[in-house]
Amino acid sequence: MSGEKIEKLAGLIAGSRNIVVFTGAGVSTESGVPDFRSPGGIWDRFDPREMTFQKFVSSEESRRRYWDLFRVTYREFRGVEPNPAHLAIAELEKRGRLSAVITQNVEELHQKAGNSPEKVLELHGTMWKIRCLDCAANYPWTEAYKLLEQGKIPENCPECGGLFKPATIAFGQQLPVRTLEEAQERSRSCDLFISIGSSLVVYPAAFMPQLAKEAGAALVIVNREPTPFDDIADLVIHGQAGDTMKSAVELAGQN
């Protein structure tokens, strides 16, 4: 990790008043959250082609497979804690510099680190809520987990008879329109856009850095691997999210 690049990021942070942070799986893996796509990850145990929204709503057998995926996910994600990257992003909010956190992650570690829920725009939903697909009634995830461990799945919604589903976005399911629109607006109106731990290949989420750059914001990409947007970024840091953000935010506070 280049000290010169950390200093440049710190300078950008210190000189900005309207920062948008965009986070992907690379932020959460540093907290021990399993990476679905890595060898031995969840997609090695479950076929993602079977986990589509269309199959969930059309087949009880598919719903059971989907719920079994979440039984495993709940078990593996319980007890994970924010890492230095999450804490550094929350510190930006405490300093009054953060416009929004736009995240592809579903485990709510940003809120756990101290970010206000209204500042966190969850493009792919949250795993800690169960919601009726028809009337949006909620069901406790803890109760769902108890049922799943007993080999059962939640029954249909008592309010309207609709299907309960974890409030994450499945393959083929539409992203939450209002959340997406707000994320786009925040990206267009920020003065610094920092993408952390995202490969920036999943759309429409990956449009966000381009929107910010085209609107005149400085674009920073922090990721262990190259991304398709490295060529247009003002600063690219190939390194760990936690070390990078902790160092840069601490240094920015001294300016």
| Token code pair at residue 109 | 């570690």
Picking from 168, 197, 229, the residue at the C-terminal end of a domain is 168
Residues 135 and 227 in one domain: no
Say if residue 1's pLDDT is above 60. no
Check whether residue 67 and residue 149 sit in a common domain.
Answer: yes
Average pLDDT, whole number, for the chain? 93
Q: Are residues 139 and 235 both part of a single domain?
A: no
CA distances from 181 to 114, 117, 120, 172 (A): 24, 17, 13, 19
Q: Per residue in 165-207, pLDDT tens? A: 999 999 999 999 999 999 999 999 999 999 999 999 988 888 9
Host domain of residue 236: 3-32+81-124+175-252
Q: Are residues 25 and 35 in contact, defined by beta-carbon separation less than 8 angstroms?
A: yes
Question: Domain check: are 231 and 186 in the same one?
Answer: yes
Residue 242 lies in a domain: yes
Closest CA to 23 of 92, 109, 91: 109
CA separation (Å) from 98 to 29, 120, 159, 201? 23, 10, 39, 24
| Total domains, the chain | 2
Beta bridge partners of 55: none
Same domain assignment for residues 216 and 238: yes
- Domain co-membership, 104 together with 53: no
CA-CA-CA-CA dihedral for 123, 124, 130, 132, to nearest 10:
80
220 belongs to a structural domain? yes
**What single-letter amino acid sits at 94?**
K
Residue 215 DSSP one-character state: T
What are residue 125's DSSP bridge partners? 168
pLDDT in tens, 29-46: 899 887 666 666 677 778
Q: CA nearest 233: which of 197, 183, 192, 190? A: 192
Out of 41-55, 107-121, 131-145, 183-197, least confident range: 41-55
Q: Which range among 23-27, 37-41, 125-129 shows the weakest confidence by mean pLDDT? A: 37-41
Q: Could you list the active site residues?
A: 124
Asked whether residue 161 is assigned to any structural domain, the reply reads yes
**Domain identity same for 94 and 198:** yes
Q: Are residues 88 and 109 in the same domain?
A: yes
DSSP H or E segment with residue 58:
helix 53-58
Q: Which of 215, 197, 229 is nearest to 109 (CA)?
A: 197
End residue of a domain, out of 107, 139, 168:
168
- Answer yes or no: is pLDDT of 66 > 70: yes
Please check whether residues 137 and 218 belong to one and the same domain.
no
Q: 14 with 115, same domain?
A: yes
**pLDDT band at 226; cut points 50, 70, 90:** very high
Q: What is the CATH number of the domain that holds 195?
A: 3.40.50.1220
Is 37 part of any domain? Answer: no
